[in-house]
Amino acid sequence: MNVREFEATEAGRQVEGERSSPPAVHHSSAAQRPHAELLEFISTVPLTAFDEAQFNRLALKIFAHQIRENAVYRKYCEQIAPAALAPRHWLEIPAVTTSAFKQVPLVCFPTEQAAFIFHTSGTTQARSGKHYFRTLEYYRTAALRSFQFLGPTAEHFPHSSLGCMFTAIREEWGARGSAAFMTPAGLDLAGLRRAIVRAQQERVPIFLLGTAFALLEALEAFVAEDFEPKLPPHSRILDTGGYKGRTRELPRQEFQQMLSAAFGVPPECLLNEYGMTELSSQFYASRLPGVPLQDHNPNVKFMPPWVRVLAVGPENLQPLPPGETGLLRIFDLANIDSVMAIQTEDVGRAWQDRIELEGRASAAELRGCSLLTERIE
């Protein structure tokens, strides 16, 4: 969407008299549920095709489903304004903050029907956020499709969305002998060392996936043991960023230099994932040669076609033009049975197919988010 289209949409939001009445709330039939259409879209859309009309149509369908079935979200939208129940464009769909997931269940079905519950892992608050899933079909499909664009596992960490993603990837594409080395007891350094030695002996490239914290812990342990974890040529490393306050933090460039030097992996084969418990989709940074979407800025992450992102002003939470810095608001269609519009506390810039992360918002910058969170009951 260009700036003129964006401004025209914003102007249209002010013409309240032209809106249709908010839809009546009633239980949806199978024909009204957009689940099958969403699954088809995620499964087949080309990963570089960002069709605004198609995304908008499906986003409005999913929003209608969510305000019918998610009573907490419906009440929240009603408190914002009656017009919030009848958006004409995905830009107008009300967003909930990530903090809201700590307060109440945001679901389109009875919580006792949840097959999976992912928990947030931050250390700043004792109360963790929870994202309820009736099925992981949409999460898994989104994870596998977006990973084609280019840790811990679900067995060890059943409430970790990251563990679920790693497990799906390993089951789909992992060679025989693929394994996980992060367990509830901690990092299995001996097992990881054996796997690296075996890869060195067989000269088979490996794909190492892990959190920044786990990779840093492994590097420091290998240095102490005087072990050189050089990986075979064509190997790749994917880190998911974030330290969660558990160890010393490093600037991203310094961290990647350490990975490259220790594992012998060139910078273009160091990949990065951005995601969160409150989402069902992931963003990837890639400098791999031949990939259709790539950027040499390690802070730039690419999104799949079933996701859109806006930067909004921290004070008033109003959308900013593409390329301006603000708080990132993510619209993830794969969040079909919770809430698709998520207001994050991350600062960055957004375009149609990518974002650039600039850090976390300060307490002062989050005043607008705090006001939104207070509306959740």
Domains of the chain: 44-113+305-377 (2.30.38.10), 136-302 (no CATH)
Sign of CA dihedral 242, 262, 300, 341: negative
Report residue 354 as tokens. 């990518």
Place of tokens 């198609």: 54
Sign of CA dihedral 194, 195, 197, 201: positive
Number of Cα atoms under 13 Å in the Cβ half of residue 35: 15
Which amino acid type is present at position 359? Answer: G
Distance, CA of 333 to CA of 142 (rounded, Å):
10
Q: 3-state DSSP call for residue 343?
A: strand
Q: 3-state DSSP call for residue 139?
A: helix
Whether this prediction's pTM lies above 0.85 is answered by: no
Do the beta carbons of residue 41 and residue 54 sit within 8 Å?
yes
For the chain, 377 residues long, give each residue's pLDDT as a single digit of tens.
Answer: 332 333 333 333 332 333 333 344 444 555 568 999 999 999 999 988 999 999 999 999 999 999 999 999 999 999 988 889 999 999 999 999 999 999 999 999 999 999 999 998 754 456 789 999 999 999 999 988 887 666 334 444 455 454 555 566 556 545 555 667 877 788 899 999 999 999 999 998 888 888 888 899 999 999 999 999 999 998 889 888 764 444 456 777 888 899 999 999 998 888 888 999 999 999 988 776 656 666 778 789 999 999 999 999 998 899 999 999 999 999 999 999 999 999 999 999 999 999 999 988 876 556 556 555 666 65
Do the beta carbons of residue 33 and residue 336 sit within 8 Å?
no
Q: Residue 155: CB partners within 8 Å, gap ≥ 6?
A: 163, 167, 180
